[in-house]
């Protein structure tokens, strides 16, 4: 009783919501109840912000590696989400246009701290790379040209280990029989042979249809709830706002000519219509901003190279483009305008879709479809582990040794990812 009172008192200090469990439960139910408690209590927005800020500083390697970092931080270490809930969120964000890793982060923030959690997760994860890229565009970040290549190569190598750990963990959970292993293998091979963004969506749709026909989960199967506090009318309004801005901003651009409205419309459209992550949005942005004369092609390519060297989401490249624009708004104002424009669609889509998604995923039919989708997502992650993560990083036996060492530190020694990131960067610099 004293321990219970102390825990309640501590929960009041940290802002967590206390969930009371029944006494005299069997041991297995008690352990499951304690795990459920960890996954259903709420956290203040500052806790969410600090968790994502640390990831925003240390998460190198692109969107697939980010999902690996999220899995280790929020499923394995903090236990904010179960394996199934995390996989369902990743599956949903694969369906939506925009940056899948940032959208997954927004969904995690929403589940822990409501609307404030969405903002805290986005700001924490996006702020470090956005600030670095704006500084680079202003010339303050000239150190980017002199950063040791060995250090950057070491950071790429640790991303290989992080993704491999995520693929292994999710594969053990969601590919536990022959049909699911076949789904993952087929999805991996299709994505490697046809690396096109719309193929990824097609693979997920086919996996959902096949899972619906092949798998028959029981209606009483355990459900891992996501504590989403957004009502359906509010969610429907946000989805409506997404489409209103998508079609309305180009009209406003004609009615209110000028660079601010043109930039907002361009970057909002880029964030709304691109599937496949940051590498896919770059050609679209190049076709939009270079012909308009906002930045030169050389400046665009220089910023693209800098974006590869910073942690966090690649969509923060929008901040560089806005800050580097030749005419106002530019600098910090232009960077913020373009950054908000490219991420705003993700806010509308994630927060608008999650309340409906949470209800749909309870259906046995949807669970059957998700069984196929989750297996396919493992295959897609496996494909991304090879291309571009492995191919772009592992080039020599020494590289393989560093990846193996990082994997052992993560999976056997259980060191936190940020520590392994620092060690790998230093090792890459020393080896070079």
The DSSP secondary structure of 79-102, one letter per residue, reads: -SS-HHHHHHHHHHHHHSSS-HHH
Average pLDDT score over residue span 216-238 = 77
Contact 79/38 with Cβ under 8 angstroms?
yes
Given a cut of 60, whether residue 301 has pLDDT beyond it is: yes
Q: Could you state, in order of their start, the residue ranges of all structural domains in the chain?
A: 44-141+148-216+230-432
Contact 306/319 with Cβ under 8 angstroms?
no
pLDDT of residue 220: 47
In angstroms, the CA 78 to CA 110 distance is 16
- Helix (H), strand (E), coil (C) string for 357-426: HHHHCCCHHHHHHHHHHHHHHHHHHHHHHHHHHHHHHCCCHHHHHHHHHHHHHHHCCCCCHHHHHHHHHH
Q: What is the token pair recorded at 76? A: 């394995």
Buried b vs exposed e over 297-329: b needs ≥16 C-beta within 10 Å?
eebbebbbebbbbbbbbbbbbbbbbbbbbeeeb
The tens digit of pLDDT for each residue in 244-293 reads 999 999 999 888 888 999 999 999 998 987 765 666 677 678 778 888 88
Given a cut of 50, whether residue 31 has pLDDT beyond it is: no
Given a cut of 80, whether residue 11 has pLDDT beyond it is: no
Q: Which of the two residues, 315 and 281, has the higher pLDDT score?
A: 315
Q: With bands split at pLDDT 50, 70 and 90, how would you rate the model's confidence at 33?
A: very low
Q: With bands split at pLDDT 50, 70 and 90, how would you rate the model's confidence at 13?
A: very low
Q: Which of the two residues, 12 and 271, has the higher pLDDT score?
A: 271
The tens digit of pLDDT for each residue in 172-212 reads 888 989 999 999 999 999 989 988 767 877 888 899 899 99
Average pLDDT score over residue span 362-370 = 82
Contact 87/407 with Cβ under 8 angstroms?
no
- Least confident range from 47-51, 289-293, 398-402: namely 289-293
pLDDT of residue 348: 97
For residue 219, what are the contacts with CB-CB under 8 A and spacing of at least 6?
364
CA nearest to 426, candidates 148, 156, 152, 151: 151
Q: What is the token pair recorded at 222? A: 């355990």
In angstroms, the CA 73 to CA 71 distance is 6
Contact 126/102 with Cβ under 8 angstroms?
yes
Buried b vs exposed e over 30-46: b needs ≥16 C-beta within 10 Å?
eeeeeebbebebbbbbe
Given a cut of 80, whether residue 5 has pLDDT beyond it is: no
pTM metric for this prediction: 0.73
Instruction: Look at phi and psi of residue 114 and say left if phi exceeds 0, alpha if psi is from -120 to 50, else beta.
Output: left
In angstroms, the CA 383 to CA 182 distance is 14
Between the ranges 80-94, 174-188, 301-315, 388-402, where is the mean pLDDT highest?
Answer: 174-188
pLDDT of residue 369: 87
Q: With bands split at pLDDT 50, 70 and 90, how would you rate the model's confidence at 19?
A: very low
């Amino acid at each position: 009783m004293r321990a219970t009172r102390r825990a309640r008192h501590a929960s009041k200090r940290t802002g967590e919501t206390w969930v009371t469990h029944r006494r005299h439960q069997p041991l297995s139910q008690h352990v499951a109840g304690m795990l459920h408690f960890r996954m259903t209590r709420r956290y203040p927005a500052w806790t969410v912000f600090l968790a994502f800020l640390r990831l925003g500083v240390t998460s190198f390697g692109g969107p697939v590696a980010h999902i690996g970092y999220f899995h280790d931080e929020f499923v394995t270490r903090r236990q904010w989400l179960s394996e199934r809930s995390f996989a369902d969120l990743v599956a949903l964000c694969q369906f939506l246009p925009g940056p899948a890793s940032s959208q997954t982060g927004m969904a995690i923030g929403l589940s822990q701290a409501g609307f404030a959690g969405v903002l805290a997760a986005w700001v924490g994860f996006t702020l470090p790379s956005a600030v670095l890229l704006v500084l680079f565009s202003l010339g303050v970040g000239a150190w980017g040209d002199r950063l040791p290549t060995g250090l950057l190569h070491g950071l790429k190598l640790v991303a290989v280990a992080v993704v491999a750990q995520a693929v292994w963990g999710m594969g053990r959970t969601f590919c536990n029989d022959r049909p699911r292993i076949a789904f993952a293998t087929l999805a991996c091979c299709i994505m490697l042979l046809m690396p096109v963004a719309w193929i990824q969506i097609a693979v997920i749709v086919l996996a959902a249809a096949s899972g619906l026909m092949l798998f028959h989960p029981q209606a009483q199967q355990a459900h891992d709830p996501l504590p989403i506090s957004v009502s359906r009318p509010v969610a429907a309004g946000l989805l409506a706002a997404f489409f209103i801005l998508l079609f309305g901003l180009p009209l406003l651009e004609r009615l209110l000519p000028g660079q601010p409205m043109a930039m907002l419309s361009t970057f909002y459209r880029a964030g709304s219509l691109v599937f496949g992550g940051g590498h896919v949005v770059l050609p679209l942005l190049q076709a939009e901003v270079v012909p308009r004369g906002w930045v030169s092609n050389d400046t665009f390519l220089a910023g693209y190279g800098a974006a590869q060297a910073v942690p966090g989401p690649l969509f923060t490249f929008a901040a560089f483009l806005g800050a580097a624009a030749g005419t106002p708004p530019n600098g910090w104002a232009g960077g913020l305008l373009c950054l908000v424009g490219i991420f705003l669609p993700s806010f509308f889509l994630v927060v608008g879709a999650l309340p409906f998604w949470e209800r749909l995923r309870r259906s046995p039919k949807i669970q059957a479809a998700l069984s196929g989708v989750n297996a396919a997502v493992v295959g897609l992650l496996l494909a991304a582990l090879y291309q571009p993560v492995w191919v772009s990083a592992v080039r020599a036996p020494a590289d393989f040794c560093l990846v193996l060492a990082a994997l052992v530190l993560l999976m056997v020694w259980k060191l936190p990812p940020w520590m392994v990131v620092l060690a790998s960067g230093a090792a890459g610099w020393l080896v070079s």
